[in-house]
Structure 1
């Protein structure tokens, strides 16, 4: 049985091969996306800056821009001949010994090479007598330095610089950067089509009544859709498939013609009515089956490739809702980001940190265990985590009450309060 780390590595390597050979990244279809709709899409083309940032020399302070060649020593007198405001630069002549009143973000006149903060002048003493329609004189109250308090043209970005590279997952900070350059649309990779289906005679769709005590609602499909909502994918829902070999085969065959990825829940165990693994083997292949983790051991990674020009990657999740969530977080979401064209460094990872257990934990050796817990800080600001006493994988209410997963290594056994453990806060916490 493969370990969690081995399966993560195997999936990453297979997708890397897919992105290079089966459907090369450089041949993927692009689409033009409005900037405000581009969050979490993957950039398909480098973005070049159309101009330098800043576009001009700008003042970093409220004060005075002083002409080149002027005396900048304490006690020097400077004649102020005008004003430069943000959006309204000074356009007149400035000679040695002269300057202009300037405000933060305003353009520094070409003839000036220094901005003196107003606090370093006698501004407070004369501000009530200043007539802005006339020139007036200030005195420097301390030495000034050439180039001080000036944001130089192009010091952050030069015109033509690559500001974002293809493969970048666009985030709100990126949108701010792009918008500052006046760009209102970007080229992104066409979203993947991801098929989802649930299997089981006992399942009933939300909104329909339960007609017998043996029936349960299909919670896995809404859960999957929610977990994948932030990814650049289009989800195609194939509904609930009965425990029937022919129906399972025909639905999977249809999905493999219409999707880039197929994700199923339930039907991948070894029961008499679990048909999915057989169908996957008939229409493609199973690369890995079963992983040494709890919950979620019967996890299938495979591909559907018969009669196709490119394989459709397949993820088979267990029917247990908690197993679905953990398997999706650990394997499916990172895989979909990578498959979408995101560079490896752009694949978001669940934050991991160390915390101190506040209670004893039971753990059997042999599988990596993801236990539900509540992460908090003690009075000294140190991270601590409490594990729920009962960790059955069917307890979905417990998962909702927790705010993190406690990750216990495969070879670890029982742990006592005070032990240090790794925790992964829920991405939505």
Structure 2
């Protein structure tokens, strides 16, 4: 029997199996949730011209203009208009927020800083003939210079960023139409177990239970942007598992199996992987729950065989498999990237294994605290409904107040 890997050693070993990140060019509007494979570089200056930041009057100011000075008004500019030339000396242009500044003007006197006189009526709007300053105006007042937010050729976002809606808005502002992003890997799911019933509307036969592992795995993969090529249920048969695995490795970058991975009479998965010439990198891990785990390569695909126990498989996927899948997308993810303060003392039997507990984390007084007083048995999955993190324990006895490594499951914390 292969020697089991300590948890950290297993993490390093499975990460080494991840294929190199591949990239493709994608229209920016289709990049939500994708990972930048290269830097995104601005195509234009932002803003692309000097623009008014307030409604008012565009003026030429050398240093500072004192209050009381009067200007004639020679025209109006709205956002989207193009200036036609320089206003005459001693004149002003009525201007709206976002409009380009006329040539040879460099300040905006806000409407509330001015007293207007009108000469004619056009419909319901009076045209200003002149305007008098009610307060002094400095050069640059209420004007955003061209390129202040960023110039053409500057790096807008670095590689490795997972793109959210705000990022896409930013990129479009800089005139970026296409992005080089990491290709999304493909993954097949194979759920093994003759006792499993896939149809939850069907009545269970004696000895059967409803299958559930694929629901979580499919949801997690889809959330991360990984295409699920196929999801199949197979009985505990060496031939059936072999047929399903041969098909899966031919069509997917990754394959995740659940069940049949331990050392029982009907645990065929490790033997099938070996039959197919698979290179097994990990056979067992010193972790609880989830010690039986196989990580291998078969015909160029990365294969993970997880426990069929939903709670153990969930922990294995989150801490060992998901970071590898994300790595293949150019997304850096560590098994336990966060930390929190333990609310209650934990006492366990001494073992060599790294224990991974379910926890409920929240913010109290500006500090992340975590409660692990919930069902932790490998056969109990109901507590996952109230858990929002996993907690790593490397010692059997941990006192309340100890800061421990966390992995958040839903990315959200609540405050009491």
Q: Deviations over 1:300-349 (max 9, x none)?
A: 211113xxxxx211111111112222222222222112213x164xx587
Match of 2:7 in 1: 4
User: Aligned match of 1:322 in 311, 327, 331?
Assistant: 311
Assess if the C-alpha contact under 8 Å between 2:339 and 2:403 holds in 1: no
Aligned to 1:112: 105
Q: Distance in 2 between matches of 1:290 and 1:253?
A: 23
Q: Which moved more, 1:384-393 or 1:284-293?
A: 384-393
The verdict on how the C-alpha distance between 1:61 and 1:3 changes in structure 2, with shifts beyond 3 A counting, is: farther
Shift of residue 56, structure 1, vs aligned partner? 0.8
Hey, what's the Cα distance between the residues in 1 that align with 2:27 and 2:317? 29
Aligned positions of 1:19-168 closer than 5 A: 19=20, 25=21, 28=22, 30=24, 33-43=26-36, 47-69=40-62, 71-73=64-66, 75-118=68-111, 121=113, 123=114, 126=115, 132-139=126-133, 141-142=135-136, 144-164=137-157, 168=161
Distance 1:325 1:243 in 2: 21
1:392 is aligned to 377
**How far apart are 1:42 and its partner, in Å?**
3.7
Q: C-alpha distance in 2, partners of 1:93/1:220?
A: 70
Describe the shift of the 1:138–1:213 C-alpha distance in structure 2 as closer, same or farther (beyond 3 A): farther
2:362 matched to 1:376? Answer: yes
2:279 is aligned with 1:301? no
Matched residues in 2 for 1:46 and 1:387: separation? 41
Instruction: Report which stretch shifted further, 283-292 or 144-153.
Output: 144-153
Tell me how far 1:45 sits from its aligned partner: 6.4
Do the aligned partners of 2:73 and 2:93 also contact (CA within 8 Å) in 1? yes
| Contact residue 197 and residue 204 of structure 2 kept, 8 A | no
| Cα separation, partners in 2 of 1:428 and 1:47, compared to 1, 3 Å | closer
Whether contact under 8 Å (1:68, 1:96) holds in the other structure is no
Aligned-pair distance for 1:201? 1.1
Cα distance between partner residues in 1 of 2:6 and 2:361: 26
CA 289–54 in structure 1, closer or farther in 2 if over 3 Å, else same: same
CA displacement at 1:204 relative to structure 2: 1.2
Is residue 336–residue 406 contact of structure 2 (8 Å, CA) maintained in 1?
no
Q: Quick check: 1:210–1:216 contact (8 Å CA) kept in 2?
A: no
| CA root-mean-square deviation | 3.0
* Partner residue in 2 for 1:175: 168
Matched positions, count: 402
> Is the 8 Å Cα contact of residues 355 and 423 (structure 1) preserved in structure 2?
no
Residues 1:423 and 2:406 aligned together: yes
Relative to its length, the structure with more strand (as a share) is 2
Q: Is the 2:320–2:335 contact (alpha carbons within 8 Å) kept by the matching residues of 1? A: no
**Secondary structure in 2 matching 1:95:** coil
* Alpha-carbon shift at residue 247 of structure 1 (Å): 1.7
Show the 5 A alignment for 1:218-237.
218-237=211-230
CA 1:57–1:404: 2 relative to 1, 3 Å: same
Query: In structure 2, how many angstroms separate the alpha carbons of the residues matched to 1:361 and 1:70?
Result: 69
Q: Please name the residue that 2:247 is paired with.
A: 254
TM-score (norm 2): 0.85
Contact 1:63 1:101 in 2 (8 A): yes
> What is the deviation of 1:228?
0.7
Q: Structure 1 residue 134: deviation in Å?
A: 3.4
Which residues of structure 2 form unaligned runs of 5+?
121-125
Structure 1 position 46, deviation (Å): 5.8
SS of the residue 1:209 aligns to: coil
Q: Distance in 1 between matches of 2:102 and 2:334?
A: 45
Higher mean alpha-carbon deviation, 173-182 vs 239-248, is at 173-182
Alpha-carbon distance between aligned partners in 2 of 1:37 and 1:226, rounded to the nearest angstrom: 20
Deviations 1:234-258 (A, max 9, x none): 2122411211112222221222222
Q: CA deviation at 1:154?
A: 2.0
Distance 1:419 1:187, change over 3 A: closer
Instruction: Tell me, yes or no, if the aligned pair for 2:29 and 2:168 is still in contact at 8 Å.
Output: yes
Q: Distance in 1 between matches of 2:400 and 2:161?
A: 42
